[in-house]
Chains A and B, each alone.
Chain A
Amino acid sequence: MNRFILFFHNTGSPPWFYRFSGKLIPWLWLGFAVLTVIGLYMGLFLAPPDYQQGESVRIMYLHVPAAWLSMMIFGLMAIMGFIALVWRIRVMEVLMISSAPIGAAFTVIALITGSLWGRPTWGTYWVWDARLTSELVLLFLYFGVIALYNAYDEPRKAARAASLMAIVGVVNLPIIHYSVLWWNTLHQGSSIGTSGSGIHPSMLWPLLIMAIASKFFYGANLLSRARLQLLKQDHRKRWVRELL
């Protein structure tokens, strides 16, 4: 069998996934730690203050990666949910539901840091502007997926219901992304796009490094949560007994 296909075939096996992810997690944490130290050093000590925002621009090195990741995780949850519904791969169900608390955590960070940036820059912590409101809706969607999953006793039924909610909820992602174009919002438009960036490299690099670091965090945390979820579901199975 092709090695690539074999890898995906193996991924569907909980014992194999448990062992493989156990080996991967320390490397992901290491990547996160190294990139975070570099990103924070560049962002807090090397990057200059912004000519308009002043020192508060340093909040951007947390806010922007968290906001990007909050959207990316929900998108991935919808994809994983779709795969779980169509092909009934249990590891995908576990990965989908394990992503939800991490996505919620990054949405909370995006909202709080955005609010703390807004006070010195806009003069207010919060406005019911389209970008902020749609991001808040994203947080409620994460809570909804988690609550729906916990409402069922049977984990596979719960995962199917939560997957469906993630697929339906994905409609909020283009609303968040295009809100700054579709409505007249206080939140500024994108500074980084496919056509390039309007940010000076001294500020862009720490931002990109922090964005990559946050992906490493997601990877490591997701695998840790998925392993826990598999242990809970399979605690009566032989592979778990052998593990003990």
Chain B
Amino acid sequence: MSHTPFILASYLISAAVLLWAALSPMFSQRALLKQLKNRQAHMEKEQ
């Protein structure tokens, strides 16, 4: 039995899980900061 597909699958799946773990807070923070900045700009405009 060739071990290559099992090794490849292990590394690819691990990379995908780690990428999700690493990138999801970065994207969420970027979106949150953008939203907060927009809200602050809107409030300043109203004042």
Contact = CB atoms under 8 A, between A and B. Distances in A.
A101 interface: yes
Contacts of A176: none
Q: Is the interface of B mostly helix, strand, loop or mixed?
A: helix
What does DSSP make chain A's interface, helix, strand, loop or mixed? Answer: helix
Interface residues of A, number: 32
Report, as a range, how many residues of chain B touch the other chain. Answer: 20 to 34
Contact of A113 (B3, B14, B20): B14
A119 B20 CA distance: 26
A106 B5 CA distance: 21
Given A62-B14, A66-B14, A112-B13, A55 B7 contact: yes
Most buried by B among A105, A117, A241: A105
13 contacts: A54-B3, A56-B3, A56-B6, A66-B14, A102-B21, A105-B18, A113-B14, A116-B10, A116-B13, A117-B10, A221-B25, A224-B25, A228-B25
